[in-house]
Structure 1
Amino acid sequence: MAQVLEFKLPDLGEGLTEAEIVRWLVAVGDVVAIDQPVVEVETAKAMVEVPCPYGGVVTARYGEEGTELPVGAPLLTVAVGASEPATAAGPGADSGSGPGTEAAAAAGSGSGETSGNVLVGYGTGAPAARRRRVRPATVVGAAPAAAGPAAPVAPVVLVDPPSPAPTPAPERSGPVPVISPLVRRLARQNGLDLRELAGSGRDGLILRCDVEQAIERIEQAGQPAEQTAAPTAPASSSAAGAVTERVPLRGVRGAVADKLSRSRREIPEATCWVDADATELMAARTAANAAGGPKISLIALLARICTAALARFPELNSTVDMEAREIVRLRDVHLGFAAQTDRGLVVPVVRDAQNRSAESLSAEFARLTEAGRSGTLTPADLTGGTFTLNNYGVFGVDGSTPIINHPEAAMLGIGRIVAKPWVHQGELAVRQVVQLSLTFDHRVCDGGTAGGFLRYVADCVEQPAVLLRTL
């Protein structure tokens, strides 16, 4: 006889306590294999597919798309040992009784030591195990709770309808590819059907800009989305403060807000900066790429310079433990780099950057950047950094005073490289100049150490041969 096991939302990474269901990948009655992805969720770090550690028949799902669940909450139940779909969708399904309800009740009563939080990986299963068939489902209510104190609430069981009424087939079936739950909510609040939109993202992914443009087109056509009239403000109120939109601080944006606020509260930061002549560095990169082999990116060269500087000034590769009142200096350099994506600002991490060559750094930066753009970064890719590079020059600005990526101790900022008049070898010349800035935690070091680090970085930028001394 099949044993019904409950699979709960596992711990998805460091510091993550909740996740939002973006898309179910299986339906009630589906047969799943061990480690097959069953649901796609969005955490504060990334969009991930969650694999189930059990193999069998799905008997129940908990939560609809858009629902936010805490870690440890039930996701679904699986009848282990069953090879055929559950028979819950029988003649008695409409009354809320029958085998399906009994299976759910068994799952809700606990499944012994086999249920609970399960740590899982993020590998991909076999192609046959990655079905994304989602069938229509109806909600069967549980029997009313008997009178008495603290009666447990029976789980909601989703089952296939026994005989669905014939309805016209929609133009598009299955889940709609959307960049984030925020976009789904924006469309729902404005009465938009996402199935009628053509996404401009990769593989037809619907972005926020697609929804906003659709809303604007509707308003211009004289068919505004559903709105409610605002009540008349008191005479003392100002109409200038009218609210036009409320954007929830959730997902990536919420995580960024929490982390930056904590950093500003806890870290006494200071910033120093210097202009550097990057002409020789640019020439060295051009010569290296002309020699053949994998191309080396500029950010990879700056990262290599940065790891060499951290070896000379290890105070900046550290964190502060205020409870123990200790500065914790870290051996390895896990180098984060700020990247702007459609889902917001993320900071992927290059592990053990101090042991990588410029070619290896270039390849890893490229891999993580592409994963950020496609929304496939895992929590492991986004945690554990010890020092961050912030290349704000890509936005066409010269300088910045960024907020440190808590709990790190410093961040190196890189402005745009632009032609400027510069005194070179005693003569005025046009050179490629970059502004470098270092924002650092003043608890871990004083200005002399921070200035020494930044000056060494600038010297390597101006004279790449300086870097050879530490290679």
Structure 2
Amino acid sequence: MAQVLEFRLPDLGEGLTEAEIVRWLVQVGDVVAVDQPVVEVETAKAMVEVPCPYGGVVTARFGEEGTELPVGAPLLTVAVGPAAPTGEAEGSGNVLVGYGTSEAPSRRRRVRPTPVATRGANAGTGGDCTPHMNAGTGGDGTPAASAPCAASASSGAHPAGQRGATAASAETARQNGTPAVPGTTHAPVAALHAEGPVPVISPLVRRLAREGGVDLRQLAGSGPDGLILRADVEHVLRTKAAQSSRTAEAPGPAASAVTPSPAPTSSAARAAGIRVPLKGVRGAVADKLSRSRREIPDATCWVDADATELMRARAAMNAAGGPKISLLALLARICTAALARFPELNSYVDAEAREVVQLDHVHLGFAAQTGRGLVVPVVRDAHARDAESLTAEFARLTEAARTGTLTPGELTGGTFTLNNYGVFGVDGSTPIINHPEAAMLGVGRIVPKPWVHEGGLAVRQVVQLSLTFDHRVCDGGTAGGFLRYVADCVEQPAVLLRTL
């Protein structure tokens, strides 16, 4: 006789107590294997897949997509077949989300787009804002688990039928003289999304569509291969709001000549806006930034530096063969050398003990913008890594941030943060310190500017460096000395030879 076992949301570690269901990977009636991922959840730290420790037939699911569940709440029930002689059903015992489980079956894999390289001097430095594509659910929030699509997705490419349908949609639009406007509906697009997953750029976009009553299967995405972006959904929501407003303001046939249309109330105007819940990663970031601003008396100093020699040094390293060295890796190497000279900035404040705790290791965080919001992956023991090792680790963590596969351990424990906001095309910034750290170094874009060099005016590659620091751990002299040393290493990379 089959035994029905209940699988509950496991302990996620890192002090996490709840998670939001992003995407179900199985449906009622599906057969699952031991340690097969059954649901994708988003916590305040990362988005991970939950493996089920039992093998059998799914008999029930608890919670719709977008629902938040506490740790210990039921996720699903599985009929595992005849009971074992000991009275216990055999399971893997691996219930920690995404860690320590056996290899997941290859028949279900998420479709990810090919990363697009960032242009400019700051390319590949961890600030890339390319979001990940989550194409595992339909526009109505139900999983799309057809076998042909799953098989095609396992190869890492878009299904051939989807590519063909996208091409047919574009060809039909050209023949009919109809422009492919984001958010518009075309028959070929409806046919494209009638079967299989809808390509949506992130869970946030899917949530916006669900809350606004937008059918994603009727949208022509403006992204690559018809990818539906947030701007597409917001365009439809604005259009619907404008149509509703015009309908409300239009007077009836009998009353148009006598009674004017009443103006919408302020509460109605507020209700017409797009509301984005502050939860998950975005909510955790908001809480941490608010706490940082409340508790840390921060100050900022900045300096312009001539980065021409640093750019030449990097070009020479890459011309010599071997793995390419990123600019962020060189800046990280400069930071670790500067922290060795000014350890006050590699610390945190223990408010209860009223003590400043200086650390003997550097776990370097770097800001990365993703489709799910700002995240700060952490490079462990950055002070013990060379430029090649730092480059490889930055690349790995950046890709994990894009695809939403960072683990909680890779997002916590930083002691100092490097923020390369130059990838956004800006020169300067006064960032908020990543609590409970004591400082953050900001790097602007590197651009040609007039500069006095060797007594004459020349065009040089100039960058603005800014340091935001906790004034409780040091005074302006220490912060200024740190920033000046960083600028000296940027202008004359040979200065680093003293610490290599």
**TM-score, reference length from structure 2:** 0.72
Deviations 1:52-94 (A, max 9, x none): 22233323211011211122211112334459xxxxxxxxxxx
Instruction: Please point out which of 105, 113, 121 is paired with 1:126.
Output: 105
**Cα offset, 1:269, TM superposition:** 1.0
Distance across 2 between alignment mates of 1:239 and 1:31: 47
Which residue number corresponds to residue 489 of structure 2? 460
Q: Does 1:288 align with 2:317?
A: yes
Distance across 1 between alignment mates of 2:331 and 2:406: 23
Contact 1:17 1:70 in 2 (8 A): yes
Which residue number corresponds to residue 446 of structure 1? 475
Q: Describe the SS at the equivalent of 2:468.
A: strand
Which residue number corresponds to residue 414 of structure 2? 385
Which residue number corresponds to residue 412 of structure 1? 441
Q: Does 1:266 align with 2:295?
A: yes
Which residue number corresponds to residue 428 of structure 1? 457
State the one-letter code of the partner of 2:287.
D
Deviations 1:389-439 (A, max 9, x none): 111112222211100011111100011112222222222222211111111
State the one-letter code of the partner of 2:205.
V
Distance across 1 between alignment mates of 2:338 and 2:496: 9
State the one-letter code of the partner of 1:121.
G
**Cα offset, 1:379, TM superposition:** 2.6
Write the mapping of 1:220-239 to structure 2, written as runs, cut at 5 A: none
Distance across 1 between alignment mates of 2:429 and 2:298: 13
Contact 1:8 1:116 in 2 (8 A): no
Contact 1:46 1:375 in 2 (8 A): yes
Which residue number corresponds to residue 38 of structure 2? 38
Q: Does 1:250 align with 2:229?
A: no
Distance across 1 between alignment mates of 2:204 and 2:458: 51
Worse-superposed segment, 304-313 or 260-269: 304-313
Worse-superposed segment, 56-65 or 432-441: 56-65
**Cα offset, 1:450, TM superposition:** 1.5
Distance across 1 between alignment mates of 2:351 and 2:226: 48
Distance across 2 between alignment mates of 1:340 and 1:170: 31
Contact 2:297 2:472 in 1 (8 A): yes
Q: Describe the SS at the equivalent of 2:451.
A: strand
Cα–Cα, structure 1 residues 205 and 397, in superposed 2: closer, same or farther, change >3 Å?
A: same
Distance across 1 between alignment mates of 2:226 and 2:9: 29
Q: Describe the SS at the equivalent of 2:21.
A: strand
State the one-letter code of the partner of 1:31.
V
Cα–Cα, structure 1 residues 252 and 244, in superposed 2: closer, same or farther, change >3 Å?
A: same
**Cα offset, 1:50, TM superposition:** 1.1
Write the mapping of 1:45-64 to structure 2, written as runs, cut at 5 A: 45-64=45-64
**Cα offset, 1:116, TM superposition:** 11
Deviations 1:195-245 (A, max 9, x none): 22344557765331221234456779xx669998998567xx799988633
What is the aligned residue count?
A: 407
Cα–Cα, structure 1 residues 204 and 354, in superposed 2: closer, same or farther, change >3 Å?
A: farther
Runs of at least 5 residues in structure 1 that lack an aligned partner in the other structure: 84-110, 137-168
Cα–Cα, structure 1 residues 202 and 372, in superposed 2: closer, same or farther, change >3 Å?
A: farther
Which residue number corresponds to residue 399 of structure 2? 370
Q: Does 1:342 align with 2:371?
A: yes
Distance across 2 between alignment mates of 1:14 and 1:288: 40
Write the mapping of 1:76-225 to structure 2, written as runs, cut at 5 A: 76-81=76-81, 118-122=95-99, 124-128=103-107, 172-173=194-195, 175-200=197-222, 205-215=227-237
Q: Describe the SS at the equivalent of 1:127.
A: coil
Distance across 2 between alignment mates of 1:238 and 1:23: 33
Distance across 2 between alignment mates of 1:293 and 1:14: 38
State the one-letter code of the partner of 2:75.
L
State the one-letter code of the partner of 2:73.
A
Aligned sequence identity (%): 81
Contact 2:52 2:95 in 1 (8 A): no
Deviations 1:158-187 (A, max 9, x none): xxxxxxxxxxx9953455443444322322
Distance across 2 between alignment mates of 1:399 and 1:424: 22
Distance across 2 between alignment mates of 1:225 and 1:379: 44
Worse-superposed segment, 352-361 or 13-22: 13-22
Which residue number corresponds to residue 28 of structure 1? 28
Which residue number corresponds to residue 177 of structure 2? none
**Cα offset, 1:298, TM superposition:** 0.9
Q: Does 1:399 align with 2:399?
A: no
Cα–Cα, structure 1 residues 207 and 13, in superposed 2: closer, same or farther, change >3 Å?
A: farther
Distance across 2 between alignment mates of 1:200 and 1:9: 36
Cα–Cα, structure 1 residues 407 and 331, in superposed 2: closer, same or farther, change >3 Å?
A: same
Contact 1:390 1:413 in 2 (8 A): yes
Cα–Cα, structure 1 residues 228 and 190, in superposed 2: closer, same or farther, change >3 Å?
A: farther
Distance across 1 between alignment mates of 2:29 and 2:271: 49
Distance across 2 between alignment mates of 1:397 and 1:410: 20
State the one-letter code of the partner of 1:359.
E
**TM-score, reference length from structure 1:** 0.76
Which residue number corresponds to residue 152 of structure 2? none
